[in-house]
Chains A and B, each alone.
Chain A
């Protein structure tokens, strides 16, 4: 079990808040749409902090401007992967940004095993560090 605040992975914009309700998620989606950003849904069973490429639940929804339709996609992903980490993102294609502008977790496994820190002692007191995701001790698809 993780021992930090909330005993959970705290990636994303809202991990210190109580889990977002559908209405709260919809409000955030509306904000992204009002900025002209494309909303995306991604999932993973390896939340390592440097695991950049979560699986895409379809392409970013560049042409879907209906918050209810986007919520439906989010909930489809949750139904398909009830024990995975799922995050909702937003992308801006504006010059000078062209990157992710929002990212927040909307689903997590019931038990989050967290990470171990592996220290490799090397020359002198120098150390090399590896962050190990406990979930990856099991094969993909069997982790939670």
Chain B
């Protein structure tokens, strides 16, 4: 069983410190099992640490190893519990002659028995537990994971899922439209509900609390819920459409969140919202509550950029997407490409695929390193929010497709003729672009003309286009894919 790189028997368990490679964490000939959890890390080893030793250290510290040899390993089926680093590739365009220190992609396999079912907390306590602070690595980033079907099947997955959400909302064949109520802070419940009513009556499907709207002195949560639900129902009656407002139930304890969620339900809300910062176990609890109570569960990714944005350390956002689909949320903010927040087009497509696919193939250009069978887990709706407006409609549909909530906050509320006019502009732009796309027109190139033609009969659209025509956010992305079209050899 043991590879040539591992010492055996008495010699392996002699007290002292031996390289991780020789402890059995480096196995280049390892045959991946269908039931293995796979992880791929981007490593920047400390000077003097060989890449394969570094990979073995990552495998060791994210599974059974400690810094020294322990004889008690011999009381266990330790060979199975050891994670195995099985492949190391140099990252293209890093190392001598480039602007970046040498980095490596390290592939590691973990036996299924290492993990407790239905627990993102347990999975992550291993995979990102101690290992990121280890001295042998200067920097470390979790780039992608393959979750075996056997493990996926222990998770509930999205409480509602894209398909059932659309059926409940009676909205098909187009992106959903939303907006975040602005200003984020300071509106009273009564004023806040006004914004919600105007935007929903104008034509949006959803309005949304912002991530930091919980229960502050200017607006306590019950007041917000009561006024917003009056707005939602009044707008529904005014248009004949099902509409919703994401009630942010984020609070200091899970008990308090459940209580707020129960109140939202009693008022007839179809959707509640939580923030990523509440933690993985709290998210799973809320997802189970949501499934039980016919509630759509929206997740705001508050906090993620502290660890997902920089390329050399932390984790890729696609892994968060994967974990959140398993944890059971129905919506997650996943980038806009064209808006104000970070996002390379191909990387964002990779996040969307991770949330929506039933089966994902390896696509290095999207940062997807593993094939993934999603085992019929519900689909999670990506949300595009932040600095987008009606004038970009053709680009948004081109990049993001139709399974997405497009959220125009400033792009609705900031309309010169008022909030309803802003919503009308967005909805009209959306419908005219979907119609054109379905008719087979080249919306990427003809998009601006399609919008200009619609603006001739839709004055709110004209005013919106005139206001935002020159607004673009062209910055270079910090997180972009690293790949060369031909396969790189193993080291």
Contacts and interface: CB of A to CB of B under 8 A. Distances in A.
B432 A17 contact: yes
Given A96-B379, A115-B237, A127 B229 contact: yes
B424 A117 contact: no
Nearest to A132: B237
Interface in B162-190: 163, 166-167, 170, 172-174
A18 B229 CA distance: 31
A128 B268 contact: yes
A27 B358 contact: no
B429 to A, nearest CB: 9
B457 interface: yes
Interface size class on chain A is 35 or more
Interface string A18-41: 100000100110010000000000
B233 interface: yes
Contacts of B428: 16-17
Interface stretch (B134-142, B435-443, B482-490): B435-443
Contact of B237 (A18, A90, A117): A117
B238 A3 contact: yes
Contacts of B424: 5, 16
Interface stretch (A58-66, A76-84, A98-106): A98-106
Interface string B211-236: 00000000000100010011001101
Contact of A27 (B173, B230, B268, B439): B439
Contacts of B435: 13-14, 17, 24, 28
Contact of A100 (B166, B222, B229): B166
Contact of A31 (B163, B229, B379, B439): B439
A114 B237 contact: yes
B239 A117 contact: no
A11 B163 contact: no
Interface string A103-128: 11000000000111101000001111
Contacts of B431: 13-17
A121 to B, nearest CB: 11
B201 interface: yes
A103 B172 contact: yes
Interface size class on chain B is 35 or more
Nearest to A31: B438
Contacts of B253: none
Judged by DSSP, the binding face of B is helix
B236 A49 contact: yes
A99 B163 contact: yes
B202 A11 contact: no
B240 A115 contact: yes
Contacts of B379: 96
B266 interface: yes
Interface string B392-421: 000000000000000000000000000010
A72 interface: no
Given A99-B166, A126-B266, A13 B241 contact: no
B242 A97 contact: no
Given A11-B170, A52-B170, A31 B440 contact: yes
A122 to B, nearest CB: 9
Contacts of B202: 4-5
Nearest to B167: A99
B242 A129 contact: no
Contacts of B240: 2, 9-11, 47-49, 114-115
Contacts of A101: 172-173
B203 A16 contact: yes
A126 B226 CA distance: 7
A138 interface: no
A9 to B, nearest CB: 4
A16 B455 CA distance: 12
28 contacts: A2-B238, A3-B238, A4-B238, A5-B203, A9-B239, A10-B203, A10-B241, A13-B431, A14-B435, A16-B431, A16-B458, A17-B428, A27-B438, A31-B438, A31-B440, A47-B240, A48-B240, A96-B379, A100-B172, A102-B172, A114-B237, A115-B237, A115-B238, A116-B237, A125-B222, A126-B226, A126-B267, A129-B233
Question: Which 4 A-B pairs give the minimum distances between C-beta atoms?
Answer: A9-B240, A96-B358, A31-B438, A102-B173
Interface of B: 163, 166-167, 170, 172-174, 201-203, 222, 226, 229-230, 233-234, 236-242, 266-268, 358, 376, 379, 420, 424, 427-428, 431-432, 434-435, 438-440, 457-458
